[in-house]
Amino acid sequence: MSLVKLTIDGNKVEVPAGTTIYKAAKQMDIDIPILCYMDLKDLNIENKPGGCRICSVEVEGRRNLAPSCSTDVTEGMVVKTNTMRVINARRTVMELILSDHPKDCLSCAKSGNCDLQDMAVKLGIREIPGQEYAEMSTYRLDTSPSIIRDLDKCIMCRRCETMCNDFQTVGALHAVNRGFNAVVAPAFEMNLEHSPCTYCGQCVAVCPTGALTEVDHTAKVIRALNDPTKTVVVQTAPAVRAALGEEFGMEPGTRVTGQMVTALKQLGFDYVFDTDFAADLTIMEEGTELLGRLKKHLEGDENVKLPILTSCCPGWVNFFEYNFPDLKDVPSTARSPQQMFGAIAKTYFADKIKVDRKDMVVISIMPCLAKKYECQREEFSVDGNPDVDFSISTRELAHLIKQANMDLNKLKEDEFDAPLGESSGAAVIFGATGGVIEAATRTAYELHTGKTLDKIDFKQLRGMEGIRSATVDFDGLDINIGIAHGLGNARKLLDEVRAGKSKYHAIEVMACPGGCIGGGGQPLHHGDASILQARIKAIYDEDEGKTIRKSHENPYIVKLYDEFLGEPLSEKAHELLHTHYFDKRKKIFQV
Amino acid sequence: MSKYSMHLLVCGGTGCKSQESDIIAEKLKNELLKQGLEETVQVIMTGCFGFCEKGPILKVMPDNTFYTQVKPEDAEEIVEEHVIKGRRVERLLYTDPETEAHVEDSKHMGFYKKQLRIALRNCGVIDPEIIDEYIARDGYSALGEVLANQTPEETIELMKASGLRGRGGAGFPAGLKWDFARKNEADQKYVVCNADEGDPGAFMDRSILEGDPHSVLEAMAIVGRCIGADMGYIYIRAEYPLAIARLKTAIGQARKYGLLGKDILGSDFNFDVDLKYGAGAFVCGEETALIHSMEGERGEPSLKPPFPAESGYMGKPTNVNNVETLANVPVIILKGAEWFSSIGTDTSKGTKVFALAGKINNVGLIEVPMGTTLREVIFEIGGGIKDGKKFKAVQTGGPSGGCLTEKHLDMPISYENLVANGSMMGSGGMIVLDEDDCMVSIAKFYLEFTVEESCGKCAPCRIGNKRLLELLERICEGKGEESDLVRLRNLGEVIKDTSLCGLGQSSPNPVLSTMDNFYDEYLAHVVDKKCPSGVCTDLLEYFIVEENCIGCTACARACPVGCISGERKEPHLINPDTCIKCGACMEKCKFDAVILK
Amino acid sequence: MSKIKSLADLKKIRDEKVSGLQSRERGEDAENLVQVKVAMATCGIASGAKETMEFIAEALEKRGVDAVVTQVGCMGYCYAEPTIEVKLPGSESVVFGGVNIEKADEIIEKYIKGGELVDGIIPVNYETID
């Protein structure tokens, strides 16, 4: 690659051709402010609409200012990032953006975690000229089961649109209207509920302002905890422990499992359990289902559907139900770990402690916003009583802990309660892309071959590539495994399945980049994809540290089957742990 | 058949009439009557010749003699000499300023070259729905020539040498643009005709498509041949149903003749054209926005590079030219680059079509060689200002352009000159303003348009223009402060400096150029709270004209706030500080003593 | 209408058309006919050019005037729509503006039939390249 020489703020630099001014400056530690621009390097996601114009710089010989995020360097270019002209333009544009933004920062969900607020601080904005007579663009508030859209706060950075369309290929959000009334919304400005939205929450994960936020259930949690008639059970998803620390200033990738358990106990939960337990259960059911289908397939049964698709990601299930309803019988029927946990908690466990399910509240802590929707699905309730009462995100848990005057940094470690707190390393890795299928492989291999694995780590299944494939030798039988994270990648694999051209026996799909660790309910990464890598590492570290690393070896799982379920895919298991899918195309756009 | 052997055409335009052209006509008639010629020679008043500078004008038909600066006392001599003896009155003939010779036949007058119709050559001449009429005027010969006798490189060189620049706004050299598209290798390329004419008041593209659709089709095929494309699209706004209908007819006819389709004119060149409809968004005139719209995406611009010549429609190299640009192409091929480049200025070649509108006598579509001055356009072709009012400014370039004033009148029109003086060529809107126009209101008018038409993608254009408009509204309502003018300028400059596409980069031009040239008017609005042209109603005040007021007290009795004072039978006075401008006094006054100014 | 196979074919069609061969084949002789062109662009039609054109065509036929009435594009005189151009055999063409039905009637009666010019003439002030 050829190199280009240029001068930025008086200093010479040499960068590869095709580098943008912004990136060239960054190399020289010149931090040109950016607002709409977002570069998630490892995920190949770049949002570069050139819309906010905050990153404008002066380029000698150019008539107008250049957006540094999207202007490539040229040989001999002379760039100035901090002249009077640039500073004035940047401030003026920022004042304009703020002039059309509500000033309720103090009570905004994003307060203290808002890119726009930070930028206002960085640029030293002290007043907004003419605010008293400036009209503001206003829009209807839209509340869905998972996501709240308060578009008065939208600054048209289009990051959500990039995630929703380019990365996820969901197509729920687009720029609509023109000029001052331009905003990002579902088609015809319908509610999100009537759009193809999967509630994956990636729009929320990248929104720089309070325009897109999660539905906040923290008040409900506090109410439940303070209700003496209720037994409150909490389950925490594997990805939460790998990210919660960030909300308390810890380095990304710090594992806080023990401190989190302490915090939950101090918050007053009656039982602090682990969704990982249900993840092990998922492997038992899904793994058995896979082996069953595989066996029939090998026996020449042409009705058997392969590949089997994982079904633990609710965003993925929503996507599937809308985009591929014709393939309804392809995914595993296994419920997600969250829902398996709820079903077991309100039957097996409730019986054990002799509490009526109506007096039990099951709360899940999830890295995910689609889980809020999933637990509201009708099929996951008994006589109107949901298996999981509600789900809160990692961010909401952090708020709860802070409200209860605790600092995670200062808490001692504690252990999950028994019996639904025990889990294997296989369950922990559910939080990272490739983890579910690796966990399934560990169990399926041993169940299928009757042999013990020498090497538990299937490193070929790990990584950040959007689509990965690997072949695992099941003692002479080659099992082809596909992995996709990001719904756009999943769509590619599903198109192959639909066309009958898929070579895979099993495919794992996670809606979010990096898997659950990159979920829409996680601490905001603010465009820094290296945070996702750190979280993944934390997940695999926890797995390695576990003594039990295969789901079928979890003693409490064995016990659960012995005492209650019988065996995987038993009638009881079917009733409590499996589900069916719907054609959602009809539901969309019907108000 | 005709009983008249001769016609005397006297100009009845405003300019000539004010110099007694109607008396000239009267006198001519009398003289003819005296000579008993009233049955064989007819005197008739006509519309404006547009040559008001040398009026009054008298034209004699059928010999095409063109008399200038005729006076009533010349009538006798004209009848005696010209009508009876058949001898032209030499002293009244137009003198060519260059050759200093008298011009006898008006067809040889340079004046008629003030307007030279190249792009509009067939408009108003041929039936646009009959391809043979186009062919009769050398239609499709240029395409034939290119296919038979030129390589694409030669044609591109010819276009480069001709100096033809884009007529849609920015003025990019057409040949160069084709060259870029040609040099980008691809399995598929496209030619796009930008017929998304969006400037308020500009309609030359529509007129060309309606009057001469084949010229555009022919040019597109030529571009296709040059860049290596076999498919062309015309992106046309759906609000142009007649243009669409005529284009469809033309495409059908061209296909039947094999002038579109496979192996055109016996060559191995294939080219076809189809229509794509736009919903009439101004921003879709910007080529990247236009291409997105064609693809079914949101009509908003994207950053260049990549230019359409690299990655355009469907990601393929695409050449986008405007209708008027294309209409010039076949003529240039046939008449040569040298001919075309001999017309115009050093950097702006050929002619430009303008839609002349506003406070001007001859509102219309005109085509003048580049280098023509604004004065010639307004006062000679346009016939001057309506109702004898005073010229104030001319707005060129539509919402992206600016206002030019008296001091710019002798400036030759060229891309560079217009930009250097705070305006631009744009697509050729030209709106003439007179003393009754308020420049702040004019700026506000254009801002209303751009605020409406901004796509909303970039912050300075989306929010900035809205704020500019709000400031202008306040100023027009009398709520403006002097500091608002500082903000107005800063905001305008930042919007120009930071906006993503040409729309935002030029939308503050009407504000900035009126501020440059009419700062007094802005000051009058914010400091004195007065609108000097009397346009901004919020700034008008009720006055009692002393001479008309008889002191009947009717107004004072009607005034709900008691702000009118005065003794009975004495002139009354309105206190402007307490007046709420309800107008009750004006309604009650029977003597026209209450006025608004 | 058959396909034109070469530049030479194209030129042949042009020459026929220019020399009036085509119209003569149809039994007409354009040079000896009254020719009326009506500006029929959107703006002209909006001002009533369609009605004017229909009236002229019908009236000329009824009144026994051999004429060719054709539609053409914009002549540029927005201030004087509808505009028509009339060419009498052997004369220069004359453009009339503001031609409503009444005016058209007057033009037919006075100018076309009697050669007498009527008010509303628009002096053509441009040169068109050939």
Q: 3-class SS at B542?
A: strand
Contact (CB<8Å) C128/B121: yes
Q: How many angstroms away from the CA of B321 is the closest CA of chain A?
A: 23
The answer to the question of residue B343 being in a domain is no
Residue A149 belongs to a domain with what CATH number? Answer: 3.30.70.20
Same domain, residue pair A330 and A250 = yes
Determine, yes or no, domain membership for A89. Answer: no
Count contacts between B and C (CB, < 8 Å): 195
Displacement of CA A322 from its chain's centroid (Å): 19
> Nearest CB to C122: which of B3, B47, B115?
B47
> If you measure CA to CA, which chain B residue comes closest to A72?
B305
Across the interface, do B491 and A92 touch by the CB < 8 Å criterion? yes
Which of C9, C11, C42 would you mutate first to test chain B, the one with the most B CBs within 10 A?
Answer: C42
- Would you say B212 and B121 are in contact if contact means Cβ atoms under 8 Å apart? yes
From A374, A396, A438, A508, the catalytic residue? A374
C and A interact (at least 3 Cβ pairs within 8 A) = no
Sign of CA dihedral A249, A251, A255, A258: negative
DSSP label at C70?
A: E
Active site annotation includes A286: yes
Chain B contact set for C97 (CB, 8 A) = 47
Option in B464, B487, B498 nearest A129 (CB): B487
The CA-based angle A129-A135-A137, given to 5 degrees, is: 120
| Pair A286, A405 in one domain | yes
DSSP character at residue B56: S
| Tally of domains within chain B | 5
Interchain CB distance below 8 Å, B459 and A67: no
Q: Does A289 qualify as catalytic in the annotation? A: yes
Nearest CB to B265 within list C6, C17, C76: C6
B-contacting residues in C 8-67 (Cβ below 8 Å): 9-11, 13-14, 17-18, 22, 37, 39-43, 45
Q: Residue B510 belongs to a domain with what CATH number?
A: 1.20.1440.230
Q: CB distance A96–B300 less than 8 Å?
A: no
Residue A269 and residue A324 share a domain: yes
Percentages of chain C per state (helix, strand, coil), in multiples of 5: 45, 20, 40
Please report whether residue A317 resides in a domain: yes
Tell me: do B290 and B175 sit in the same domain: yes
CA gap A510, B9 in Å, rounded: 85
Shared domain for B420 and B467, answered yes or no, is no
CA of residue B592 relative to chain centroid, distance: 40
CA atoms of A101 and A99, how far apart (whole Å):
6
Q: Please, is A78 exposed, middle or buried when counting C-beta atoms within 10 Å of its C-beta (0-12, 13-18, 19+)?
A: middle
Does the N-terminal peptide bond of residue B62 adopt cis geometry, omega within 30 degrees of 0? yes
Which of B123, B133, B267, B387 is the best mutation test for C, with the most CBs of C within 10 A?
A: B123
Using only the alpha carbons of chain A, give its radius of gyration.
25
- Biggest CA–CA distance in chain C, Å, is 49
- Residue whose entry in the numeric block shows the structure tokens 């079914």: B296
CATH code, domain with A262? 3.40.50.1780
Whether chain B has a CB inside 8 Å of the CB on A59: the answer is no
Please give, rounded to a whole number of angstroms, the shortest distance from the CA of B430 to a CA of chain A: 25
Query: Inter-chain contact B123–C78, Cβ cutoff 8 Å?
Result: no
Contacts of C125 in chain B (CB under 8 A): 49-51, 111-112, 114-115, 381
Residues of chain B with pLDDT under 70: 1-2, 98, 105-113
The pair of three-digit structure tokens given for residue B25, joined into one six-digit string: 């006509």
Q: How far C100 CA lies from chain B's nearest CA (Å)?
A: 16
Active-site residue, A503 included? no
Return the SS3 of A100.
coil
User: What is the per-residue pLDDT across A474-522, written as a single tens digit (0 to 9) for each?
Assistant: 988 999 999 999 999 999 999 999 999 999 999 999 999 999 999 999 9
Residue in B497, B500, B512 to test binding to A, most A beta-carbons within 10 Å = B497
Q: Where are the domains of chain C?
A: 1-28, 33-122
Beta-carbon contacts of A395 under 8 Å, excluding residues fewer than 6 positions away, are A214, A247, A521, A522, A523, A524
Residues A398 and A301 in one domain: yes
Q: Residues A231, A234, A240, CA angle at the centre, nearest 5°? A: 170
Contact B456 A181 (CB under 8 A): yes
Catalytic choice (A214, A246, A285, A289): A289
How far, CA to CA in Å, does B260 sit from each of A564, B81, B151, B257, B488? 78, 58, 19, 8, 52
B20: closest CA of chain A, how far (Å): 53
Place of tokens 């019996």: A419
B77 within domain boundaries: yes
Q: What's the per-residue H, E or C state across A549-566?
A: CCHHHCHHHHHHHHHHHC
- Interatomic CA distance for residues C84 and A153, integer angstroms: 58
The reply to whether A108 belongs to the active site is no
Q: Which residues of chain C have pLDDT under 70?
A: 1, 20-31
Annotation marks residue A371 as catalytic: yes
Mutation target among B2, B29, B260 for the C interface, most CBs of C within 10 A: B2
Model pLDDT, residue B1: 46
Chain A CB within 8 Å of residue B298 CB: yes
* Residue B534 in domain: no
CATH of the domain at B574: 3.30.70.20
* Residues in B touching A209 (Cβ below 8 Å): none
Contacts of B208 (CB under 8 A, 6+ apart): B119, B120, B123, B215, B216, B323, B324, B327, B353, C73
Q: Is residue B160 in some structural domain?
A: yes
Q: Which of the residues A132, A180, A181, A209 would you substitute to probe the B interface, choosing the one with the greatest number of B C-beta atoms within 10 Å? A: A180
Question: End of a domain among A170, A192, A214?
Answer: A214
CA distance B551 to B553: 5
Give the range of the structural domain holding residue B377, as residue numbers without chain letter.
351-434
Query: Based on the number of CB atoms within 10 Å of its own CB, is A8 exposed (0-12), middle (13-18) or buried (19 or more)?
Result: buried
Residue of B nearest to A174 (CA): B298
Give the structural domain span for A166: 98-214
- C-B interface (Cβ pairs under 8 Å ≥ 3): yes
| Residue-level pLDDT at C20 | 66
Q: Do B458 and A50 touch (CB under 8 A)?
A: yes
Within a domain: A590 = no
Instruction: List average pLDDT for each run of 10 residues in chain A, which is 591 residues long.
Output: 94 96 96 95 90 97 96 96 97 97 95 95 94 94 96 97 96 94 92 94 97 97 97 97 97 96 97 97 95 92 90 96 93 97 97 96 98 96 96 97 96 95 95 96 93 91 94 92 97 96 96 96 93 96 94 95 96 96 76 49
A379 among known catalytic residues: yes
Kindly state whether residues A114 and A229 are assigned to the same domain: no
Interatomic CA distance for residues B320 and A453, integer angstroms: 64
- Whether B174 and B281 map to the same domain: the answer is yes
Q: What is the pLDDT of residue B109?
A: 66
Please report which residue ranges of A430-529 form alpha helices under DSSP H.
435-449, 487-498
Peptide bond into A419 cis (omega under 30): yes
Inter-chain contact B466–A135, Cβ cutoff 8 Å? yes
Residue B452 lies inside a defined structural domain of this protein? yes
What domain count does chain A have? Answer: 3
Catalytic choice (A371, A372, A512, A550): A371
Q: What pTM was estimated for this model as a whole?
A: 0.89
The verdict on A325 and A386 lying in the same domain is yes
Question: How far off is chain A from B161, nearest CA to CA, in Å?
Answer: 27
A559 is catalytic: no
Q: Is the peptide bond before B56 cis (omega within 30 degrees of 0)?
A: yes
In a domain, B122, yes or no: no
Residue A302 within any structural domain of the chain: yes
> Which CATH code, of 3.40.50.620, 2.60.40.730, 3.40.30.10, 3.50.50.60, is assigned to C33-122?
3.40.30.10
ipTM associated with this complex = 0.93
Q: Are residues A136 and A29 in the same domain?
A: no
C120 with B114: Cβ contact below 8 A: no
C-alpha to C-alpha distance for B327 and B122, rounded to whole angstroms: 10
Structure tokens at A99: 């002039």
Nearest to C125 among B4, B115, B129 (CB): B115
Residues of chain C found within 8 Å of residue B258, distances taken between Cβ atoms: 3-5
Q: What is the DSSP letter of B459?
A: H
Q: Which entry of A286, A396, A446, A508 is annotated as an active-site residue? A: A286
**Domain endpoint, select from A214, A239, A265:** A214
Check CB contact of C92 with chain B, cutoff 8 Å: yes
Q: What are phi and psi of B430, to 5 degrees?
A: -145, 105
Residue B274 is encoded by which pair of tokens?
């189809």
Residue C62: CB partners within 8 Å, gap ≥ 6?
none
